[in-house]
């Protein structure tokens, strides 16, 4: 990361929407870093609570980017990243609290010129177990979290390549982020991080998971609605697969989605999931146009992409 001793070279962008109760812990964790970030920006998506007032009064050193309306996670993150200048940038969830040595551990990790993202282990705030030791994507068209619900002692000791850095605290190379066009804002919430990571894989890049870098995450604290999450995951996962899978086939994807509909719980959210899939179909013509452009720009071989869709040997 080539960061100086004071953490210069890494900016942190926190996307906030009505996070008045979450931001204090997140910002306190950043203030406690043994290696301070170069800058902290809160990109506020038109919060209706007292988030901005609290920041002004209690955290005057944190830059506030008032966006005026809710642009979704991707929209807020893109504008937050665009407002900074550091060569590396972390997009941090407001419900995430990094350990004091988090940034120091990340900056110390060895990497090559195709490493575009650094990932931390997400630790569940409720269980103390692993929430994600890297986000992975299956050829069948869905994302999943490596080592989920396993104890922390199941982690490898050394960094390893993953499909994607966990979405609550990824650290990106700015030049690659900008070259890829940032997050797809049409997704609004959920799967925008997976879609971005897939486009990076298609461009020949990979993420590096650093097991010693830990971030405690209060999963779902920013969304607060399981129904809302189910809708966006159903819609956006379909768009992501359509846009990014190099050899996507309609029938296998449809069978997978039908299987998810039969097995997902709670069953009361089935109508919400169906609504999400129908919304995906309504936007499929555009997704197919985007697919043509994304696949035309692919530089990674099909073999290299297929390898990145396999779980890392370190955690098998």
The model's pLDDT over 229-263, given as tens digits with 9 standing for 90+, comes to: 999 999 999 999 999 999 988 888 888 888 888 88
- Give the model confidence (pLDDT) of 256-291 as tens digits: 888 888 888 898 999 999 999 999 999 999 999 999
The 3-state DSSP class for residue 280 equals helix
- Give the model confidence (pLDDT) of 160-176 as tens digits: 999 999 999 999 999 99
CA–CA distances in Å: residue 161 to residues 18, 19, 113, 150, 201: 34, 32, 13, 19, 11
Of 296, 236, 240, 229, nearest in space to 269 by CA: 229
- Give the model confidence (pLDDT) of 52-98 as tens digits: 999 999 999 999 999 999 999 999 999 999 999 999 999 999 999 99
142-145 and 130-132 beta bridge pairing: unpaired
Neighbours of 104 (CB within 10 A): 17
pLDDT of residue 223: 66
Rounded Cα–Cα distance for residues 258 and 172 (Å): 35
């Amino acid at each position: 990361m080539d960061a100086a001793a004071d953490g210069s070279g890494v900016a942190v962008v926190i996307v906030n929407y009505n996070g008045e109760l979450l931001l204090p812990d997140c910002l306190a964790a950043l203030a406690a870093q043994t290696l301070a970030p170069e800058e902290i920006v809160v990109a506020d998506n038109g919060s209706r609570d007292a988030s901005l007032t609290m920041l002004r009064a209690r955290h005057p050193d944190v830059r506030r980017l008032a966006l005026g309306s809710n642009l979704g996670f991707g929209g807020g993150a893109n504008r937050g990243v665009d407002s900074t200048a550091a060569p590396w940038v972390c997009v941090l969830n407001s419900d995430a609290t990094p350990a004091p040595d988090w940034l120091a551990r990340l900056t110390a990790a060895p990497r090559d010129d195709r490493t575009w993202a650094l990932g931390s282990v997400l630790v569940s705030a409720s269980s103390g177990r692993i929430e994600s030791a890297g986000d992975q994507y299956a050829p069948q068209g869905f994302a999943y979290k490596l080592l989920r619900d396993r104890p922390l002692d199941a982690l490898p000791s050394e960094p390893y390549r993953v499909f994607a850095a966990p979405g609550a605290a990824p650290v990106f190379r700015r030049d690659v982020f900008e070259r890829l066009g940032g997050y797809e804002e049409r997704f609004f919430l959920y799967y925008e991080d997976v879609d971005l990571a897939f486009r990076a894989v298609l461009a020949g890049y990979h993420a590096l998971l650093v097991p010693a870098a830990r971030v405690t995450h209060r999963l779902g604290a920013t969304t607060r609605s399981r129904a809302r999450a189910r809708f966006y995951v159903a819609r956006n996962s379909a768009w992501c697969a359509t846009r990014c899978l190099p050899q996507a086939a309609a029938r296998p994807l449809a069978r997978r989605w039908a299987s998810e509909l039969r097995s997902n719980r709670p069953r009361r959210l089935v109508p919400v999931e169906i609504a999400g899939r129908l919304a995906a179909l309504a936007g499929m013509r555009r997704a197919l146009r985007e697919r043509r452009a994304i696949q035309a720009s692919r530089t990674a071989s099909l073999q290299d992409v297929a390898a990145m869709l396999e779980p890392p040997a370190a955690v098998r």
